[in-house]
A and B are shown apart, each in its own frame.
Chain A
Amino acid sequence: MVQAPRKRVDLFPYLLLSPALLITILVIFYPIVRTFTYSFMQYILWKPTEIKFIGFDNYLKAFEDPVFWISFQNTLIWIGGVISLQLLLGFCTALLLNQNFFWRGIARTLVLIPWVTPSVITALMWRWMYDGNRGVINDLLVRVGILSSYFPWLANDTTALYAIILALMWQGFPFFAIMILAGLQAIPDTLYEAAEVDGASALQKFTRITLPMLVPVLFTSLMLRIIWVANSLDIIYIMTGGGPGYSTHTLPVYSYIRAYKGMDFGYASTIAVVLTLLVTLFVSIYVRKVLRMEDRGAV
């Protein structure tokens, strides 16, 4: 009986991949594993002798912690508010930039300014614009008669979170605008010409051609933005530090405050794990829905 020649495993490609794999393990997987481990531990930095495994105690603590639930609710408002406003503004901007006008090139470049501005600068700029004593927003609103006196946008618990949502909308809409613009330009003109011949109205062309053709672009950009926005910490922290009170506490902000102000890395990790699970759940539901749409041929 002749044995089939053994298939030789070529290790060379794996060797080439190993540096990237090693870096990924070190930079991504290791911190993730450590965060999950810490979430089951009492880990207060200044109590090094009392670090111990405590099972699900941190999770139970989070369940009973009113600040955690305020942060959880604020996170949902934050994601929903920022994403919907960015998408809306980005879509409108993309439709405008897709038109023919003589300074279109400059407009496309200018629209990227908020996106390329570092978050710290954006946060500081908006903080002073919202300033309740000398901010330009208050000045404008008083001048046009909408307000009778300056309003402390960031020092008021009902407006602070929404004020930051608007600031992040400004920073993030160019991402949607550019992605959607790229999608719009990939739609062949012949489709619109055919629709025209068939007597389709502008609205019909938009709903039957433009929107369906944009779904793959929208899908990718929405997913990326949801993840980024859910994780965003810098802009909120610089603008309000999570205050006044807990009114701008989102899960990343609360986790940061527990870790670096309270030095409680165990509980902070628990909050981070919950956020990760929340985003994963969000994204997986979304991916499933889109895949189902694709199967049905809706896309």
Chain B
Amino acid sequence: MKKWMIVLFMGLVLPGLIFSGGAKEQKAEVKTVRFWYHFDNPETSVKPLIEKFERENPGIKIQAEMVAWDAYFQKLMTSIAGGNPPDVSQIKLWWQPQLVEMKALAPLDDYIAKWPGRTDVYEKIWELTRHTDGKQYLMPLQMVILYLYYRADMLKELGLKVPTTREEFLDVAKKLTRDTNGDGQIDVYGFGIRGGRGGHDYWATFVLSSGAEIITKEGKSGLTTPEAIAANQWYIDLFRVHKVSPPTTPTDGFNEVIANMKSGKTAMTIHHLGSAKGLVEVLGDRISAAPVPRGTKGAWTSFGDEENGVLAASKVKDEAFKWCAFLATAENNALWQKSSGQISINKSNGQTKEAQENRFMKASVESTPFAGVLPAHPKVAEFVESVWPATMQRAFLGQITSEQMMKIFEEHFFGKK
């Protein structure tokens, strides 16, 4: 009986143990990289790129998860606090200070130094994405530069030129604001302002180009100088005094602003390449683009970026970087941009005929010299997410003055005096 049991054990259990060990060993060879990303258009897929990467790197599996943009930052932060972040995540530049403060990002300098593709990425992107501690935590992925969308047909109809300065812009916006059917109601507004979340880019375009600075080079506030308050007042007046934007401005978000352009409710707005395809689908040649107008101190437009970061908690950092590097390589990055609708970070992709002939791409490229980012301060994230929208809306509603608004911003960054 005992002998029979030993034979059974040898015959059935041992091979199982041996093979399961083998399987484990085989399994251990495949490393999984968890990747979080988002596209403005939820229908686009990253699958072809994953398949290509997995073919080229048989030992690595990419487990991608598309995260809704509205909840992206909070989901990332809570996943870090909860100890279960992804290995690679798409990251906005203004999240970086908080993530570095949390020690949540892995420095990538050593990896990048060995990566042959680094020279094909625009130097300006490396410059803008380098953290204030001198380390590089982010791998460039895509860029967008905000520019002015305008209704070419409406400007032509009224014999107007594309505005290049703040004053010209106001003049054009006033002329474009009109009652087109004679019923006494305004049918077209000159400029679609985004008063809700995300509208800080519009505000910064006009206010930071006319004397305001969130943090000066000396590390002080540049928000409450008479010049800065006046620049802010000019922006508030677009809505309150000149009424060149729709009455819904205080709460208009991305969807409303773009819907207003598509329906002809507004004649100009500010956004990036991400909305070009949708606008052209509806408006065709009637929509065109140009760099944003200059302020009193020069031009400023928002460098809308997105990078990939390798999370410090990742146990597969080498593989995670390989995936980031794969996405930042010209051929793959061009494929990525087909889905994201944004601009490649590679010099070689910028030289394509398509990139040079596209009017929206052209406006983006022409805006590159004066594209800027908000300061690398841990409080920028909260400023963008909640402080700016609530305060801007209060100013638009006349609840606070321009000076009070700028003082609220100053207190947010520098504390109460």
Contact = CB atoms under 8 A, between A and B. Distances in A.
Contact of A48 (B102, B252, B260, B265): B102
B274 interface: no
Contact of A262 (B78, B196, B386, B389): B386
Interface string A242-255: 11111000000000
B247 A244 contact: no
Interface stretch (A130-138, A188-196, A218-226): A130-138
Given A133-B248, A155-B251, A155-B252, A244 B378 contact: no
B109 interface: no
Contacts, number: 93
Interface residues on chain A, size class:
20 to 34
Contacts of A242: 390
A131 to B, nearest CB: 7
Contacts of B263: 133-134
A75 interface: no
Contacts of B295: none
B59 to A, nearest CB: 34
B81 A243 contact: no
Given A48-B102, A243-B393, A245-B394, A261 B247 contact: no
Nearest to B391: A245
B386 A131 contact: no
A152 interface: yes
A161 interface: no
B397 interface: yes
Given A134-B263, A241-B389, A257-B386, A46 B251 contact: no
Contact of A133 (B256, B386, B389, B396): B256
Contact of B81 (A45, A149, A152): A45
A261 to B, nearest CB: 4
B394 A246 contact: yes
A133 B265 contact: yes
A145 to B, nearest CB: 14
A45 B101 CA distance: 10
Given A133-B246, A133-B260, A261-B382, A243 B102 contact: no
B98 interface: yes
Interface string A107-134: 0000000000000000000000001111
B269 interface: no
A260 interface: yes
A244 B74 contact: no
Contact of B74 (A133, A148, A260): A260
B98 A131 contact: no
A177 interface: no
Given A246-B390, A246-B394, A131 B248 contact: yes
B197 interface: yes
A240 B390 contact: no
A241 B196 contact: yes
Interface of A: 45-48, 131-134, 148-152, 154-157, 160, 240-246, 257, 260-263
8 contacts: A45-B81, A48-B102, A150-B185, A152-B250, A155-B195, A157-B397, A244-B250, A263-B382
Listed from nearest, the 6 A-B pairs whose CB atoms lie closest are A132-B248, A46-B98, A261-B386, A245-B394, A261-B385, A244-B393
Given A132-B247, A133-B265, 15 more contacts: A45-B78, A46-B102, A46-B381, A133-B256, A148-B185, A154-B251, A241-B196, A242-B390, A243-B196, A243-B250, A245-B250, A245-B394, A245-B399, A246-B394, A263-B382
